[in-house]
Chains A and B, each alone.
Chain A
Amino acid sequence: NAGVTQTPKFQVLKTGQSMTLQCAQDMNHEYMSWYRQDPGMGLRLIHYSVGAGITDQGEVPNGYNVSRSTTEDFPLRLLSAAPSQTSVYFCASSYSQRPDEKLFFGSGTQLSVL
């Protein structure tokens, strides 16, 4: 059972480059989200989706785009990377947004922007 799969695990970019972080889940979860984790700041929500074709912004959406064309996949795009986007990124999913539904996290992507 794969759960939530993120790729790549590590990435180094130069300022201004673009890239896509991939996230896929095989649990038929409707809710998917992207977080970034920075030292001393905990996890912060970037974007989320409550189902295919539906996305919305979280706490820190600037500089990131998302799309949800299928239930399984929720890629995160950095259009023009900046050093401030150096962080660890986590994708998460759950069956729904109900409070008793657990969030399942991917293993993270360590991104460095030089």
Chain B
Amino acid sequence: EDKVVQSPLSLVVHEGDTVTLNCSYEVTNFRSLLWYKQEKKAPTFLFMLTSSGIEKKSGRLSSILDKKELFSILNITATQTGDSAVYLCAVDKYNNNDMRFGAGTRLTVKP
């Protein structure tokens, strides 16, 4: 059975801290791994990763995929209160229209 597991489930940090969110997966026919940020409403796209070892970066956020060890990390440096959200990891599969989501990591950044 396909699994996408995120850790930790929740995290509380202070502004300026650096955080690392984890996503491990066990799926057949892996195609890509995606990260989304979900604030109060709809998830918004952050990154899509298809190749191992190639870091994707956007401002203070970065992510990398390890297809051998079957995990990805999302790093956020110099966190701000606006980074508070649920971060979702999802795995897309070949020949399958079902994108599997993890349960998410709830990040709270305190001033």
* A residues in contact (CB < 8 Å) with B: 4, 33, 35, 40-45, 48, 50, 56, 58-59, 90, 97, 99-100, 102-108
**Considering only CB atoms, which chain A residue lies closest to B97 in the complex?**
A48
**What's the Cα separation between A41 and B100 when bound, in Å?**
10
User: Can you name 14 A-B residue pairings with CB atoms under 8 Å?
Assistant: A35-B101, A40-B9, A41-B103, A42-B6, A42-B100, A43-B43, A45-B98, A48-B97, A50-B97, A58-B97, A99-B50, A103-B99, A105-B44, A108-B41
Number of A-B contacts (CB under 8 A): 54
The residue that B43 contacts in the complex, of A45, A56, A105, with Cβ under 8 A, is: A105
Question: Known pairs A42-B101, A56-B97. 9 more at Cβ < 8 A?
Answer: A42-B6, A42-B90, A42-B100, A42-B103, A43-B43, A45-B98, A50-B97, A99-B92, A108-B42
Q: Is the CB of A44 within 8 A of B101?
A: yes
- Neighbour of B4 across the interface among A42, A97, A107, CB < 8 A: A42
- A23 vs B107: C-alpha distance in the bound complex, in angstroms? 29
Given known contacts A41-B103, A42-B88, A43-B90, A97 and B97 CB-to-CB distance under 8 angstroms: yes
Nearest residue in B to A9 (C-beta to C-beta)? Answer: B41
Q: Are A42 and B97 within 8 A (Cβ)?
A: no
Interface residues of B: mostly helix, strand, loop or mixed? strand
**Pair A105/B4 contact, Cβ less than 8 Å:** no
Report the bound CA distance from A45 to B96 in whole Å.
Answer: 12
B48 at the interface (CB under 8 A from A): yes
- Bound Cα distance A103, B35 (Å): 11
| Nearest residue, chain A, Cβ from B50 | A99
